[in-house]
Structure 1
Amino acid sequence: MVEDSPRSFSLSELLGSVRRCLDHSFPHRYWVRAEVSDFRQAGQQGHAYLELLEKGARGEVVARVRGVIWAQAYAEIQRRFVRSGVGQLASGMSILALVGISFHEQYGLSLQITDIDPSYSLGEIARLRLETIARLRKEGLYDMNKELPLPCPLQRLAIISSATAAGYGDFMRQLHDNSYGVQFYTALFTAQMQGEHTTESVIAALDRIDRHREHFDAVVIIRGGGAVSELRAFDEYRLCEVCAQYPLPIISGIGHERDESVLDLIAHTSLKTPTAVAAFLIDTQVELLAHLQEIQRRLPEILQRLSLGRGQYLQGLITRLQLAPREHLERELRRGERLQARLQIGARAYLQSTRHTLRLQMERIPSILRYRVQEMRHSLSRLASTLPLLLTHRLERESTQLGHWEQAIRLSHPDNILSRGFSIISSAGTILTSSTSVTTDMPLELRFHDGIVHATAESIQRAQQDKKSTSRGSSQPSRPVEDEHEGAK
């Protein structure tokens, strides 16, 4: 029997059920806190598409969902953002949005944004700014760039800005077309000055300047005005940390009148606009130039005064020179008399002190000698008390050594060696140590432990042969017996 197959659904039926469940469970709109990411606006339709993110304490993304703002709602939101000073809605901005939950069988889950509270975004920007200031103060970085000396003259400038920015153009025109004819040497290091990549772009420009910092007196960071949200990169800790520790003075002209960014607060010198920075640089050089001109104007008078003063000074020196040798001689004579008197007093005092010391030493000599004699007697007594024991030990060691030598001599005596089976062969009183020195007719003396035998080498050989033949003859009678047995057969 075939079992019934389980109930199945098409994908559209399942997702349609999910959509109806969500519509029934979440019928209302909800206020949601999130960060904007991947923001983009459709060209002609006017709709805006984005992602909403939530990040953890370490910056990791813990939640993500797609969002959409239809054209009519987006236009109204933008108008409110501009009126409140937040600026254009962009990636990286923290928002409080009124959303409805939507699910589509083809496009999945998304949030439809109908409203955004601009005051919440302003509050988040202010919170970020205060956190950055507090962290810079805690780490001791807040005043580091301000403590750098401003070079004089201040002419070689590294400029960080966008090449197409109106603020940069105004700055360059005012700087180079000044009515005082003051010269400046500038180099532009382009960077993105608004948007989500502003921080990385400005830090990269600072790194490029640092590789050639010996060619510059200061760094100028400028841009035109803008909304609060467009300037939030200049409140970020990463950028402010680099600027605070930068080895060159930083002059900022971010271009907003209402508030100061954190970069303005930690920079060496901060001005409101790029043109104000240009005016500051020009005024600094004009003051230096005026000071130099004043010195140039006063120089002849100063030289004349110096010349008159030197003449009077020389005349006074001539007068003093005439009197100086006599005064010096008198001073030296008086000084010699004082030294002579001090020398006599010192010599008498030293002589008395030396005599007193010698007298004390003479008084101490007998007691020192008595103490030294007692000490030597005590030492001799200790040595005398140990002398018998040392002699006894030495006598025992010498007796033991003598016994060892006596035993060795006794064991090495020829009689002992002969008693162990050895013999001494000599001829005419000469001991023979090799067989090659023996001839057949040489008279030999063989010394054994129990007597002496006289012989010749020939007689010894003969005796050995007789002994061999005798031993051979004693073994031969067995063969004739064997032959007799063979004959019997």
Structure 2
Amino acid sequence: MNRFYHTSENKIILTGDTFTIKEQIKKAGGKWDAAQKNWWLIQSEVSASLIKELGFSLLINSNDRNSHLPEKNEDQQKNSEKLNVENLPDNKAMSVTHFVLLIEAIIRKNLSEKYWICGEISSFKSTNGHVFFDLIDKSAGNEFSSLSLRAASISCILWANKKTQLNEKISKILFQDGTRIKVLVTCDFRKEGSKINAIIDDIDIQFTQGELALQRIQIIQELKKRNLYHKNKQLKLKEFPLKIALITAENSRACADFYDELRISHISFQITLFDCNMQGEKTSENVAHALKYITLNSHLYDCIVITRGGGSRLDLRWFDDLNIATQIALSPLPIITAVGHFDDTSIADEVAYHCEKTPTAAARFLTENILFHLNTFFSRLEKMTSLLLKRTSKEKQLLVSLEQRLCHAARKRIESEKKQIKGISQVLKAFQSSISQTLLRGYALVYDDNGTLITGKDFLKNPPPHSLKLKFANDCENQHIFVDVSVNGINLKNDQPS
């Protein structure tokens, strides 16, 4: 019967075919060890008697100073079956079960301690709360070249109950393929398939965080070496960045929060969504590809927003990526990042023009930027309006003053002209009165036979006109200038007048 036992400290460990007798073991106080996949009992006379009744045999290679059962009588010692390879005849072979159990006993005895091992996670998977992966050492070929080891590996298991205990530590590292970790393990031999596994008991998170920090430092140094670290920060964000290229997961909460915040502002933003994986192995490829496309069509946008929902510190690792950081630095548009973490910043945050912690904060940054410039514009407009009103009022006062001065000057000029006209009128009246009186003295116009008016010069001619016609001034219709001339006499001969 394939049932065996060995002792460990004060426990009796039962292995082999125990499924059919598990009820009897339970009644005797047996406990099932889910991690080791076996039953165990506290050492006692009752336990020893039960083991005998159920047909268990002692594995001889597992005994040490604490490995014996309580003292047995002769019959018990005689009937105890022991597995001892040295006592087997040359022509007799062990069964596979005996051989496998012997290996298990040897491993349990010689590899019973806990060991710290480090390596890179590979073939990571999780089932029913348990975690299974291979821990590989890609550098083994160089370190142990004489042994011709290449990519040495060992299967590791993190049971669900232990995973619950280590959740706080696990949350601080990136527990996935490609991550280098340091774990405390015990060696376990699984009879099914005769496979050795490392059962994880603890995790050294400082080791993994140190590896990630070193990788981060190397990326930053590379960016600074290529003069890319501050390149995007040197750009200038437009006063009214209304055309936004949004890089995020389309159906994510981050996308919804970003849109909701913009909608509250009632500003007419134009959003172009680029649906990308924001965590996982495709993050770098998706985000970098979207940035390249936007760069080629930069005239269509005012700025870029890269955002995702909140998460653990590990989620930042996807944005501690040289490819993403390089594309951000080379973008001709200002980039605003919001990867959803309050305590730490990613390399993408450091390289970008501006970073916020959440999608809502990123949207609020844009709306507040626009509102600030709108307020500045209206403030300047109000100030200009006030200045124009003051200037208008001043000019109006000046016009009123000019009007008053012109009116006063006009009235003064009119009064002056009135006085002058009055004086002229009086002169004219006096002149008219003088002329009238003069005309009454008998002034007349002198014409010749042809009806031509004879002036004073005509009397100086030789000879003077023979016949004259007179027309007195009172009978004249047109205005004429009359000269008072005294004629002493007229000589009708050719002689000069005397």
Match of 2:284 among 176, 199, 207: 199
Deviations 1:441-470 (A, max 9, x none): xxxxxxxxxxxxxxxxxxxxxxxxxxxxxx
Cα offset, 1:244, TM superposition: 2.0
Contact 2:316 2:345 in 1 (8 A): no
Contact 2:305 2:336 in 1 (8 A): yes
Match of 1:111 among 188, 195, 198: 198
Counterpart for residue 228 of structure 2: 141
Cα offset, 1:94, TM superposition: 2.9
Deviations 1:325-376 (A, max 9, x none): xxxxxxxxxxxxxxxxxxxxxxxxxxxxxxxxxxxxxxxxxxxxxxxxxxxx
Q: Is 1:51 aligned to residue 140 of structure 2?
A: no
Query: Residues 246, 103 of structure 1: CA spacing in aligned structure 2 closer, same or farther, 3 A cutoff?
Result: farther
Q: Please give the TM-score of this superposition, normalised by the length of structure 2.
A: 0.52
Contact 1:182 1:286 in 2 (8 A): no
Query: Residues 292, 223 of structure 1: CA spacing in aligned structure 2 closer, same or farther, 3 A cutoff?
Result: same
Q: Helix, strand or coil: the match of 1:247? A: coil
Aligned counterparts of 2:100 and 2:116: Cα–Cα separation in 1: 26
Contact 1:219 1:249 in 2 (8 A): yes
Contact 2:173 2:208 in 1 (8 A): no
Counterpart for residue 94 of structure 1: 180
Cα offset, 1:204, TM superposition: 3.0
Counterpart for residue 71 of structure 1: 160
Contact 2:173 2:205 in 1 (8 A): no
Contact 1:170 1:275 in 2 (8 A): yes
What are the residue-to-residue correspondences of 1:9-408 with 2, within 5 Å?
22-23=107-108, 25-43=110-128, 46-56=129-139, 62-82=151-171, 86=172, 89-104=175-190, 106=193, 108-178=195-265, 181-297=266-382
Cα offset, 1:187, TM superposition: 1.7
Counterpart for residue 381 of structure 1: none
Contact 1:125 1:229 in 2 (8 A): no
Aligned counterparts of 2:359 and 2:198: Cα–Cα separation in 1: 42
Contact 1:78 1:88 in 2 (8 A): no
Q: Helix, strand or coil: the match of 1:177? A: helix
What amino acid is aligned across from residue 275 of structure 1 in structure 2?
T
Aligned counterparts of 2:259 and 2:293: Cα–Cα separation in 1: 21
Aligned counterparts of 1:242 and 1:64: Cα–Cα separation in 2: 36
Contact 1:251 1:270 in 2 (8 A): yes
Query: Residues 147, 272 of structure 1: CA spacing in aligned structure 2 closer, same or farther, 3 A cutoff?
Result: same
Query: Residues 176, 130 of structure 1: CA spacing in aligned structure 2 closer, same or farther, 3 A cutoff?
Result: same
Q: Helix, strand or coil: the match of 2:230? A: coil
Contact 1:90 1:195 in 2 (8 A): no
Query: Residues 233, 88 of structure 1: CA spacing in aligned structure 2 closer, same or farther, 3 A cutoff?
Result: closer
Query: Residues 248, 27 of structure 1: CA spacing in aligned structure 2 closer, same or farther, 3 A cutoff?
Result: same
Contact 1:87 1:230 in 2 (8 A): no
What amino acid is aligned across from residue 328 of structure 2 in structure 1?
C
Deviations 1:231-278 (A, max 9, x none): 112223332223222232211112212122221111111122222211
Contact 1:65 1:111 in 2 (8 A): yes
Contact 1:128 1:236 in 2 (8 A): no
Q: Helix, strand or coil: the match of 1:182? A: coil
Question: Which residues of structure 1 form unaligned runs of 5+?
Answer: 1-5, 310-489
Contact 1:92 1:196 in 2 (8 A): no
Cα offset, 1:281, TM superposition: 0.4
Question: Which of the two has greater helix per residue?
Answer: 1
What amino acid is aligned across from residue 189 of structure 1 in structure 2?
F
Aligned counterparts of 1:77 and 1:278: Cα–Cα separation in 2: 37
Aligned counterparts of 1:7 and 1:197: Cα–Cα separation in 2: 58
What amino acid is aligned across from residue 50 of structure 1 in structure 2?
F
Cα offset, 1:184, TM superposition: 1.0
Query: Residues 7, 217 of structure 1: CA spacing in aligned structure 2 closer, same or farther, 3 A cutoff?
Result: farther
Aligned counterparts of 2:297 and 2:205: Cα–Cα separation in 1: 43
Aligned counterparts of 1:223 and 1:243: Cα–Cα separation in 2: 16
Query: Residues 109, 209 of structure 1: CA spacing in aligned structure 2 closer, same or farther, 3 A cutoff?
Result: farther
Percent identity among equivalent residues? 30
Aligned counterparts of 2:196 and 2:354: Cα–Cα separation in 1: 50
Aligned counterparts of 2:299 and 2:154: Cα–Cα separation in 1: 49
Question: RMSD of the TM alignment (CA)?
Answer: 3.6
Q: Helix, strand or coil: the match of 1:91? A: coil
Q: How many residues align?
A: 295
